[in-house]
Amino acid sequence: MRCARVLLALAALAPVVAAAQSAGEVERCFQNPAVCGQGGGQAGGGAAPAPSGGAPVAATRPAAPAPDYTTVLQSPEPDRRHIQESLRTLDKYNGPIDGNLQSEATAKAISDWQKAHGLNPAGKLTPQEAQQLNAEAAKAPIKRIEPPPQTAAAPTPSTQANADALKALQARLAERRKAAEPKAEAAAQSLIRDLKAYVAADGKGVAGDQFAAFAKWYADNKAAGRKVGEIAPIIDDYGDAKVGAAVASEILLEAKQDATSQSQCLVFAWVEGNPRKNTQAFSCDDVAGVEKWKTDQALKSAWR
């Protein structure tokens, strides 16, 4: 009976004790909020419950996307050429405008431009950088390229020596021709007299015997009813040859019929003598034939 009374007394005291603990805990939280936050104010200084799970993970920022260089590198060729032209306008590039943005010269130009603008000098452009580059070039003033001043180059010693040698040669040739002109003129006039004598004798004389081409020309015109008109010489060449003085003279032969006339140009070539030697007549168009004749005679020209 006594035990039952004791139990009843303890049961009656339990709410009072709990109330006292709650009041004490409130007072401690008010005086020291950290204690209340850490352990929930457990009586008897009990340990705070351990947090569940592992160690806390620090929050990380998302990685920035990689620069887009592919779009510009794979852009249409006109766009890539435009970029090179913009680099050239800005004095960064002087290579070919071929659209190759990955060439060493173009990549260096892009890198230099990027450095000047505080950008990553990758040597490749993002679409935004390409747009910025082209816009900057479009605003750049047009540069006037002035030609370099022309200065007369002083002749080198060898050039001056060659010029002096040429002048000396020309002077010697002029003297030789001046000395040869009377002889060449006399030889040509002697031929003209023989040609006219052949015509006057109606196709007879030494001129026809020595120059078969002239004899044929006269016979053809006579058969056509044409008469011989003017016969005019022009000296082509004159000089010493193997067997005497050699002459080459262009002769303009005129044939007339009524009010019309025809002209024939022949080159008469011979070596002076009595009679003439190595005689031959060529068409004035047969330059190779005339030059071969001179070579065969070993002609040393005093005329050229």
pLDDT, tens digit (0-9, with 9 covering 90-100), for 115-161: 999 999 999 999 999 999 989 988 887 665 556 666 666 667 777 78
Give the tokens for residue 133: 């580059």
Give residue 163's Cα distance to chain centre: 33
pTM above 0.95, yes or no: no
pLDDT digit string (tens) for 247-264? Answer: 999 999 999 988 888 888
Asked, as a colleague might, if the bond just before 275 is cis with ω within 30 of 0, I would say: yes
Q: What is the mean pLDDT of residues 60-87?
A: 88
CA distances from 127 to 65, 73, 134 (A): 14, 10, 11
Cα 237 to Cα 304: distance, rounded to the nearest angstrom: 7
CA atoms within 13 A on the CB side of 118: 0
